[in-house]
Every structure is written in structure tokens, then in C-alpha cells.
Structure 1
Amino acid sequence: MDKHTLFSSFGKWLAPICTRTFTDQLSETRQDKYVKKLTTSAYLKLFLHAQLHGREGLRHIADDVGSVAFQQELGLTSISASQLSRKHNQVNPELLQLVFERLVKQIFSTYRAPTHRNKMKIIDSTTVALCLQKYKWAEFRKTKAGIKIHMRLAFVGEQDVMPEKATITAAKKHDRTELDKLVDEPDVTYVFDRGYMDYAAFDRYCESGISFVTRLKNNTCLEPLQFLAVPTNSSVSEDVVVRVGSHQKKMKHKLRMVQTQDSQGNLLFLVTNRFDLSCDEISDMYRSRWAIETFFKWMKQHLRIKHFHGHSEQAVYNQIWIALIAFCLLLLVKLETKVDHSLLQLSRWLTTLLWQPYAEWLLRMKRKPSRSSQGRRRREAVV
């Protein structure tokens, strides 16, 4: 136990990022070279605290420093909204991205359960709309601005999911331009929607031994090469080896097309370079993609990523990385304590017991959920 270890519930929650590694990183990047008051460490604690409480503006965040317990955590007795604004626009988003990625590595190295889902990653993006007058750098359409969060989601533990990798761009940027940044491991299968169709990339993945499952666009040209047997009572209606693309632009490698239906009875045409799995396993893999849709919905409802505390590109990106860090910290507590409560419930208790000893928060988390709370947990769950 060293000087960075804190004992309040808030301090325990922050402990994974309040490390010597983070301090050394700040020294190497000279992020706080001329800083006299609001250090990057204090800034991160302030904005994580604001994430927990859903603070509306910088003045509200500055008022939080009036708490004596918070002053002790920060090493500050007061701060102004203008100082917060300057710092929010000065911190390098890449530094916060590294904090997020380090948390992800810690979670996976410790709590990754040996299930078949470990070999599957889901890729998708979500758009956050912005006011064009305030965010002109993020122009999306004539009357609208926006940013796009491109994300790779992975399964961790028995049923939890987490963002494993992310990139942030203006909303105008097409999904497939970010695909190569999110596909970088040969030993897993990547599942993504038809917005990522890229024949050249698919050929590269086939040559590199990277597996994928995706959905075809309605106007995709297919050349059937071999019809494979479909098991009786299967949800799959066709299993065919195909060549994808038109005469002018055709893939070099053969793929496998699986035809199935969604929950509403609409036909889905899936393609993959996995020939070793059954057609139903391919279908189930694509259906698992719904986990990222549910995650995006949860993220927009419970993380502070729709109302921003600054209008610059740097401020917006910083707030998104802080929101993802907050999610990872909550998930890490849940995995460490092995409790069945939802992340939202853990967050509520943390907000209530913020400056109480961690033992009180732990005691609350260890209580078995009632039947009514189990029902709420299923509705609030990320997956």
C-alpha cells in the first residue's frame, strides 16, 4: 500500500488510475509543466465526480469543491469555472485514451472468463448529435453537427460487456474508414454490420487469418459456388459458398453466405470466412451483435456524453474518454466484488456513500438483490 491508496468509497473507485504509472506518464508528457493549481490528476477526479453526479455545467462542478472531503482528495480548496474550462480544453485526449486502454488491459488480464464469447468482438458506431452553431468543427449536415464513436465491444466475466477499443471522429466520416483501427487481432472473430462492407479489407483479412461475420447489403452481387447441407430444424434456410462482388469489383477469396431470419421474420444474408463453424453458430454470432446496440443505449442514458462542458474538439473528446473511464472503473468494482447488482445500482450507492469508508459501500454491494431489484437489473443491464 502506497501514498496513492485512498480509503473512501470514492478513493477506492479511483484507485486503479491513481497509480505511479499515471504520475510518471504525466511527468513524461510534461502535461503539468507550468501548472500551479489544477493538476491533470485533480482535473480527472473532478470530471469523474461530475460523471457520477451528472453535473450540468462547469459552475456546478466548481461548487463541488466546497466539500471539505473533496478538497482533501483534490488538494484544492477552491476552483473557478473559468479555470476548469481552460484545463478541459488543454488536456491532451490521447492521455485520457491511454488511461482508458490501461484499465481495459487490467480488466481483461484479471477477469476474462474462459468462454466461447472471448473469441468474438463486436464492432459498431454511434452518432452523438451536436448544435452546429456551437460545434462548427463537427459539421455533419447543413443544419446539424455531430461526432461518431467507433467502438469494439468485448465480453468479460460471465455476462458483462465492455468497450475494449474506441476511436472518435466527426460524424461525417464513414464507418469503414475506422475498421482497420478496430481489427488488429488474428485469433478472434469480428462481428459487424453492413455499414463496414469493404471488399479490399475482407481480402486482406482472409490473407492475414483474421475472421469476421457481417451482413450483406441488399444490392450486393453474389456468385454461388457450392451449396452446403443445412441441418434439420435449423434456423438457417441456406448455407452457400459464394464469391462476393460485381464483375468489375470482385473479391479474390471465397466466402460463406448464411441466410437466416431476424426476430421479425426479415431475411438476413450473412457472410463470413469461417468455414469451420456450423451455420447456426454463424447465425448466433451475428445475433450477439445486439449487445453493442444495448450498450450504446445504456451509455447514452447513464453516461455524460450528450451534454458537453466545452465546445472545442479537445473538450468533447476528453469528456467522452472520461465517460468510458468511469464505466470501466464501475465494471472493475463489480468484477472484483463478484456481485449481481447492475452497474447503475453500484453507481447510485457510490454516489450516496461517496465519502464514507469503502467498507460501507462493499457491505451494501454484498447484499443479495431482492426479486424486484433483479427485475430492474434485467431492464437496466448493459447486456
Structure 2
Amino acid sequence: MHSNSIGHKQLISQCLSVLPTEFFSSPLLNYEYDKLSVDALMKIFVAAQLDKWESYEDMEERLRANPEFCESIHLPSISGSQLSRRINDLPTEFAQELFQKVVHIIHDLTKDYKGINSEIGRLKIIDSTHLKLPPELCDWAFVTKAWNVVKMHTRIVVVSEDISYPDKIVPSTGNVGDVETPDLLVEEDDATYLMDRGYPSVKNLMSWQEQDISFVVRITKNIRAVPIETYETNHPAILRDVKVKYSYADEPIRLVEFEDEEHRLYRLMTTRWDLSAEQIMDLYRYRWMIETFFKWIKQHLKLVKIWSTKPQGMWNQMFLALAAYGLALILQLQTKSKKKLWPFLRLMRTYMYKPYNVFMEALHREKSKTSRGRQKVPLPKKKETEFEGNIAIIKPQKKK
């Protein structure tokens, strides 16, 4: 990564060269397309998310203004209308495969991370978020009056207190309930799954137990549990820690109930018998990480700015936006930066069309020391505000 040729490459080109897109440049996949290969198309849309390109006109202008970038993806010229048509026609399986290849790179870079701590291990958090679409153009996404949405059912992996990443998503129309998706998102592995009330049903709980899945899930009042054995707990917020039987399940399960600071009741079912009730309570609170992730991608990658009103275009945008997120995280991990991901991405955007080595210098530049340590702070003197010029109308204030 530090050779002279790479160092003088534009940061955006260096970033996109990390994308494992060799397969998508195959002539067999691109025999229909004279100008824009599948490889180049996906790189353009990943770049658009990374650099926050605002519209198809903006994309067209930026490509025209950056011939070096276009040359790096073998793109002679392209119009915004061509990009719009092609993102709607791109098979979503291609966008999904690119995202999965990015996830594989992140997995390799984080394989030595132990999770939250040695006792809890890695977490996988599942939840969904919705993207609102214009009703007049997206009747296929109708849910209720003036509520046309698609959903992104998401699983994130928490490999440390500071690092998490999405490793699987399931796009859907907005009328697909969360409870219908766990078969696609909960898989046998060594992680503990965290889920909110939308996901557990009696059928799902029994299935997870049969598969020996580790989980902590919040349940609704509809799932009734009969106590078998009660465990002692001294934490003031924890109301009950019991072994229970539910519905017609054969296997008993653990139920932990607690109240938060606002006296809201939480009923958690879990297969983690090895942790204390207090640890279960604290573990569940890590669910905020997926809420933060959704807020992050909507705010910083502008996922709410939709590129298409067609189903396939929307699914492609989800996968390519998350590939962009993964790409920023890969660069952060590879450079061993201590910056949080948002300041890191912000710096990337500042130096996106500068040489890669200029970005690296900025990334590792030490802050100048301007402070002289703790100084005695004098009491501030009240200053009279001075008005200059004769443009504004000034009315004297009454003295207090």
C-alpha cells in the first residue's frame, strides 16, 4: 500500500481498487455494454455514497471533472440518464455479492478481535430500518396511506466496543414483518444474537433452541412463561431471574426481567445460562449499537437520498451503500487509524481527489500544541457592544 505508484494515486481510486470486483469485469458479464461495465457501474455508485454525490447530474459533472478517476475505472464518458437506467437493470445478486466480498475482507481484518469482552464474546444484533419513498412514484411499496416504504433487515457484528459492521441484510417491502425474517438472519455460529420484540415468536424461540443458538431477546406479553426455578439476585433494577417453560416447548429457558430508569419493563429470554442476571441486562443494552448504525448510514452516507423508485434499484442502493460503509471501515482498519469512523470518512472526503500519500500524511499528522497548560483565568470584563456603519437600525436598550 505504500509503494510510490500507489502513493501518488488519487485516494478515491486507491479506495475503489480495494473492492474485489475482478469477477464483474469479465467480458461474459459485459458483452451487452459498450461503455459502462458492471465493475465500473458499481464502483461509481460506491464512490457516490463515499463522497456524497447528490444527484445524477452531480454524478455526471463529477465524472467529467475527474478524468483521472474515470481512467482508473476505464470509463470514457457516461450520462446521468444512462446511470439511472443501469442501476435499475443491474441484477441485485451482483450488488449483494460485492457486499459479501467486502464483508469477507472485514472479517479477515477483525478475526483476532474478541468481542465486547472475553465473557460475552462477539455479538450479532438484528433489527430493521425503513426508507420512505414518494407515494406517487412507488405504489409497489404501499403500506398505509402516505406511507410507502421499503425495509432493510440488518445484522451487524460487534467485534469490539468501538467496531461493528453489517455482515448481512435482507431488503423487503415495508409490509414484511420483522418476525418473518429470522430464518434468513439467525444462523448457527459462535456469536450471541440480540433482538428486540419484533423477532421472537414461540416458533422462532423453539427453532433457535433446537439449533443451539445463543441469544438474548426481548419478548412481548403474548409469550407466557411458567416459572420452574427462581435464582437469587441483588441488583435493584432486576425484578426476576427464573428458569421457565413456555408454550409447548420441550426445553426450559431463562427469563430475566428488569426495569430501566424510567420504570419501563423489559422481559428478556436467553440461552446464556453462564452470565449473571446483571450481565444479561447490561448485554441487552448494546442494542443501541444498531440504532446508532442506522442513524450513521442515513446521516453520513445519505441513504435516505434515494437513487431509484424501482424495486431493483432500491435493493441495489442498499447493498452498494453498505459496501461503501465497509470500504471506509477497511481503510480505517488497514491504516490503524485511531479516529472514529465518521471523522475518518470526513477526512477521506476532504482528500478524496488528492494523492493517497497526502491523505496518509494528513491522517497521521500530530496536533499542534498550542496550550500552555492550566492558566489562571481572569474575571471577564463586561464589554460594551460597538455598532459600526449605518446600514442597520439600532435602538438603545434600557439599562437594567
- Same fold at TM > 0.5: yes
**Is 2:126 the partner of 1:114?**
no
| 1:198 to partner: Cα distance | 1.5
Distance 2:24 2:261 in 1: 48
Which residue of the partner structure matches residue 124 of structure 1?
127
> How many percent identity over aligned positions?
31
| Structure of higher CA gyration radius | 2
Which residue of the partner structure matches residue 8 of structure 1?
10
Distance 1:370 1:328 in 2: 31
SS of residue in 2 equivalent to 1:323: helix
- CA deviation profile, 1:165-201 (whole Å, cap 9, x unmatched): 1110001001011111111123221110011122112
Q: How many aligned positions are there?
A: 361
Which residue of the partner structure matches residue 322 of structure 1?
320
Deviates more, 1:105-114 or 1:123-132: 105-114
Cα distance change, pair 265–332 in 1 and its aligned pair in 2 (3 A): same
Q: TM-score, normalised by structure 2?
A: 0.84
Which residue of the partner structure matches residue 71 of structure 2?
72
Deviates more, 1:236-245 or 1:109-118: 109-118
Q: TM-score, normalised by structure 1?
A: 0.88
| 1:133 to partner: Cα distance | 1.4
- CA deviation profile, 1:128-185 (whole Å, cap 9, x unmatched): 1111211122121133210111111111355111111111000100101111111112
- Of the candidates 145, 160, 165, which is equivalent to residue 163 of structure 2? 160
Cα distance change, pair 234–27 in 1 and its aligned pair in 2 (3 A): farther
Which residue of the partner structure matches residue 89 of structure 1?
88
| 1:261 to partner: Cα distance | 2.0
8 Å CA contact retained: 1:31, 1:91 = no
**AA in 2 matched with 1:24:** F
Which residue of the partner structure matches residue 192 of structure 1?
195
Which residue of the partner structure matches residue 208 of structure 1?
211
8 Å CA contact retained: 1:5, 1:11 = no
Distance 1:262 1:15 in 2: 47
Q: Which has the higher helix share?
A: 1
| 1:283 to partner: Cα distance | 1.1
| Residue ranges of structure 2 left out of the alignment (5+ in a row) | 370-400
Distance 1:130 1:251 in 2: 41
**AA in 2 matched with 1:265:** H
Equivalence map 1:32-47=2 (5 Å):
32-47=30-45
**AA in 1 matched with 2:83:** L
| 1:85 to partner: Cα distance | 1.5
Cα distance change, pair 369–163 in 1 and its aligned pair in 2 (3 A): farther
- Of the candidates 52, 55, 58, which is equivalent to residue 57 of structure 1? 55
Distance 1:32 1:262 in 2: 56
8 Å CA contact retained: 2:123, 2:159 = no
Which residue of the partner structure matches residue 389 of structure 2?
none
Which residue of the partner structure matches residue 100 of structure 1?
99
SS of residue in 2 equivalent to 1:194: coil
SS of residue in 2 equivalent to 1:351: helix
Which residue of the partner structure matches residue 268 of structure 1?
266
Which residue of the partner structure matches residue 331 of structure 1?
329
Cα distance change, pair 356–55 in 1 and its aligned pair in 2 (3 A): closer
| 1:49 to partner: Cα distance | 2.3
| 1:369 to partner: Cα distance | 6.5
Distance 1:243 1:284 in 2: 24
Instruction: Provide the aligned C-alpha RMSD in A.
Output: 2.3
